[in-house]
Amino acid sequence: MNITSHFISCDWGTSNFRLRLIETETLQVIWENRTDQGVKRRYAAFKAQTALDQKDFYLDYLMGEVQKLPDGHRSHPIIASGMSSSNIGLCELPYADLPFDEGGNTFISKSIPIATNQDLLLISGVKSETGMMRGEEVQAIGLGEYLHSYSEGILLLPGTHSKHISYRQGSFHKLKNFMTGELFEVLGKNSILSNSIEIAEWDAQGKKAFLEGFHLGLVEGSTPNLLGIRARHVVEDMDKKDNYFRLSGLLIGDELSYLRSSGENVFLAAPGAIFELYKTGLETFVAPDKLILLDDAVLERALLIGQRKMLLLHAK
């Protein structure tokens, strides 16, 4: 695979699809388009038709989006990370094993010719005995550029399924998964708690409620305190908007409880609102010099750094 002045970055997640034109040297985003056609929706559409096999069905959509790029930039190499290499994606690749280094040398990948002098590079995920991920491993090797000055720590990548990855001297080792985001959605929409919470905006009152829940989750765990969310509403007539953040705090506190006595560096890398929630909780028990904050902008660039590393690796 040849490296040109630009490459096409494809971030194909479960719920969303994003295509970007990237200047290789600077990683400047020249053009970007997002759709709601993540692999979950695409796979449902694939199953509803019979004209194309799975690979061609996904390629048909991908190349249709590529044709929207500016003239002269539609034939650059494409690199796809995330769920595109899953069993409901474009082409299933097996998971690589931990540990892995910042170069991504042990990742499993596949180069697929899609046009004359144009290839698609698919990157698979990583697994351990305690978890798995697809997409975050590429972010991790990009984030490695920001971790060089630290000998070790725990990298937190919160989300629907949060990932905690142990980092030590340029390599990533143990992986833990937490279904915190999905649990919040399921409990908030499909459990008895759904009538006791209401979506709210983050403010001083929301922060107070979040920290109350966070402390309970951190010290006692979430399970003994979940029904208390409903009791606060039904028995004590507490605000359902407060309960929204109290439930969030309870689940996040439970997720982070094992870090209370670790004393390790904690690297937090997360987008927008999630970043603020985890930061608020972590600041209550992690020393300032041990909490390294990597915001949305860093996380966005890290994905591109990781994708460029993989392209360069395959160009050798």
Beta partners for residue 132, in sequence order? 127
Q: How far is Cα 163 from Cα 179, in angstroms, rounded to an integer?
A: 9
Q: How far is Cα 118 from Cα 76, in angstroms, rounded to an integer?
A: 6
pLDDT tens profile 1-52: 567 899 999 999 999 999 999 999 999 999 999 999 999 999 999 999 999 9
pLDDT recorded at residue 182: 94
Checking if the pLDDT of 299 tops 70, the result is: yes
What are the structure tokens assigned to 211, written together?
């920290």
3-state SS of 211-264 is HHHHHHHHHHCCHHHHHHHHHHHHCCCCCHHHHHHHHHHHHHHHHHHHHCCCCC
Q: How far is Cα 166 from Cα 214, in angstroms, rounded to an integer?
A: 23
Checking if the pLDDT of 315 tops 90, the result is: no
pLDDT tens profile 200-248: 999 999 999 999 999 999 999 999 999 999 988 888 767 899 999 999 9
pLDDT recorded at residue 2: 64
Q: In the predicted model, what is the mean pLDDT of residues 288-305?
A: 96
pLDDT tens profile 254-266: 999 999 989 999 9
| Domains of the chain with bracketed CATH | 6-127 (3.30.420.300), 150-301 (3.30.420.310)
Checking if the pLDDT of 60 tops 80, the result is: yes
Q: How far is Cα 7 from Cα 43, in angstroms, rounded to an integer?
A: 26
Q: Answer yes or no: are the C-beta atoms of 34 and 15 closer than 8 Å.
A: no
